[in-house]
Amino acid sequence: MGGAPCLAYPRSMTGNGRGSLVGAFRFAGRGVLDAALLQRNMRLHLVAAVLVAVFASAVPLGLAEQLALLASIFLVLSAEVLNTAIEAVVDITTGELNERARVAKDAAAGTVLLLAAGAAAVFAVVLTRNWDAMRAAWRDVGRVLALGLPLAASSALLVFRVRRPLRLDLFAGACGAAVLPLIALLSKSLVFTAVAALAFVVCAAAAFARRGRG
């Protein structure tokens, strides 16, 4: 423990005192937001989560397939948040080039890569197994997917670091907020619609948090 810095956290993070649970959720949410702000791949995975969740909202999937897709989405996003934490800790404790620091960062990034590859494989299996059902109900599926594309585009516009006027962020946020209720009305799974909404909200929060931080 020798030279490691000692960080003093606010009282609400220790679990003592009133409001500590609310504080814990607030700090956890800030960690997810920091990952979206700092990690390009987190931004990519958030947009991918919107697309996958919209797909799962459009197609009537079995329970096992739904659980596999849910696990894939949240494992990849959680790994990105953990990767952000590991990189921050390594940067704090190592002020210069260090081989062990490189190994730590590369291994953390490799974990995300493996999980993302596994998630892609799961999605491919679910897609191929349900291809005939999608073709049979292509009108209903097409309606949801047609609404999902503007939602994904709005999410991408909000979360990626591109210089743009505030009115464009407001337009993208309003567009996504307007599309989500329509997707919910046509959805085969409100759980996945909620996942798409959650990913969109993180993208929107990242856009406005970036402006607040200058």
Range of the domain at 169: 29-212
Render pLDDT for 152-171 as a digit per residue (tens, 0 to 9): 999 999 999 888 899 999 99
Answer yes or no: is 21 within a domain: no
Q: Among 65, 80, 96, 99, which one carries the catalytic annotation?
A: 80
What are the distances in angstroms from CA 203 to CA 9, 10, 15, 28, 140?
27, 27, 29, 16, 27
Per-residue pLDDT, 211? 86
Mean pLDDT, all residues of the chain: 89
**Residue 96 annotated as catalytic:** no
User: Based on the number of CB atoms within 10 Å of its own CB, is 44 exposed (0-12), middle (13-18) or buried (19 or more)?
Assistant: middle
In a domain, 7, yes or no: no
For the chain, the domain total comes to: 1
* 176-188 mean pLDDT: 96
Instruction: Return the CATH number at 68.
Output: 1.10.287.3610
